[in-house]
């Protein structure tokens, strides 16, 4: 049985309320998902909280696996990424809401990895990396920023110093070019 098939079987049993399968799924995937939480959130305590929430969600939602046709690891990673991004967005929102007295929160924002750093760290042997490298570096950085830090069009526009509509056009064109490359 391949690893993907094993994980798929675990998810299936978790959906039926099998605690042992849930434990096995945790053993098989928690390190990968925790690595992603750490990378997105850049805060160990928050990454631990996030991982806890993610597995609570998995227990409750395992029955929804296969609804959207994702492979098992992609499904798990997508849930983890989306949850971590939600937290990151909440943090950004709380910070921009005027926590001027909250130095600790401001420090956390500064400590986040920039998309450039994330781009440099990416490996080169993935299909998407090859296709991303065909984009202009700043556009590839915007796509990565959207995926890895959950930046909105408005935030991307601000960071790249371009008007909102320009950013939207940029990114949509980049996504189209990415699609062309990925389906070649």
Partner 1 sequence: MTGPGDHHEDDAVLAAEHVLGLLGGEELDRAERRLETDPDYRALYAAWAEDFVSLTHDMTPVTPPVRVRNAIDRRLFGARREGLLRRLGLWPALSAAALAAGTYLVVTNLDLLRPGPEAPPFGAEIAADDRSLVVRVAFDPDAPEMLRVLRPSGAAAPGRALELWLIAGDAAPVSLGVLPEDREGRVTVPEDLQPLLSQAVLAISDEPAGGSPTGAPTGAVLGAGPVTRL
**Residue that has been written with the tokens 């690891």 in this structure:** 73
Binding positions for partner 1, 33-52, rule CB under 8 A = 34-36, 38-39, 45-46, 48-49, 51-52
Least Cα distance to 135 among 183, 184, 163, 176 occurs for 176
Using rule CB under 8 A, residue 166 touches partner 1: no
**How distant is the alpha carbon of residue 142 from its chain centre?**
14
CA distance 107 to 142: 23
Of 2-10, 79-87, 109-117, the window that binds partner 1 (rule: CB under 8 A) is: 79-87
**Residue that has been written with the tokens 């490996």 in this structure:** 123
Dihedral-angle region of residue 91 (phi above 0 means left; psi in -120 to 50 means alpha; beta otherwise): alpha
Using rule CB under 8 A, residue 13 touches partner 1: no
Using rule CB under 8 A, residue 11 touches partner 1: no
What radius of gyration do the chain's Cα atoms show? 18
CA distance 130 to 163: 28
Name 92's Cβ contacts closer than 8 Å, sequence gap at least 6.
109, 155
Using rule CB under 8 A, residue 102 touches partner 1: yes
Question: Which of 99, 113, 114, 137 is the binder for partner 1 (CB under 8 A)?
Answer: 99
Question: Which of 77, 112, 138, 159 is the binder for partner 1 (CB under 8 A)?
Answer: 77
Of 5-13, 100-108, 109-117, the window that binds partner 1 (rule: CB under 8 A) is: 100-108
- Give residues in contact with partner 1 (CB under 8 A): 19, 22, 26, 30-32, 34-36, 38-39, 45-46, 48-49, 51-53, 55-56, 59, 67-71, 73-74, 77-78, 81-82, 85, 87, 90-91, 93-94, 97-105, 121-123, 126-129, 143-144, 146-148, 150, 152-153, 168, 171-172, 175-176, 178-179, 182
């Amino acid at each position: 049985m391949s690893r993907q098939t094993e994980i798929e079987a675990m998810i299936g049993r978790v959906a039926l309320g099998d605690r042992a399968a849930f434990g096995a799924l945790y053993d098989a995937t928690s390190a990968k998902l925790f690595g992603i939480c750490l990378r997105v959130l850049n805060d160990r305590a928050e990454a631990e909280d996030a991982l806890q929430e993610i597995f609570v969600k998995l227990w409750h939602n395992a029955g929804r696996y296969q609804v959207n046709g994702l492979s098992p690891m992609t499904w798990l990673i997508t849930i983890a990424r989306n949850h971590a991004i939600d937290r990151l967005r909440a943090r950004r929102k709380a910070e921009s809401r005027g926590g001027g007295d909250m130095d600790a929160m401001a420090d956390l924002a500064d400590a986040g990895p920039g998309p450039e750093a994330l781009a440099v760290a990416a490996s080169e042997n993935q299909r998407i990396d090859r296709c991303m490298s065909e984009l202009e570096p700043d556009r590839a950085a915007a796509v990565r920023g959207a995926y890895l830090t959950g930046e909105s069009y408005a935030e991307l526009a601000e960071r790249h110093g371009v008007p909102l509509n320009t950013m939207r056009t940029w990114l949509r064109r980049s996504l189209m070019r990415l699609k062309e490359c990925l389906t070649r």
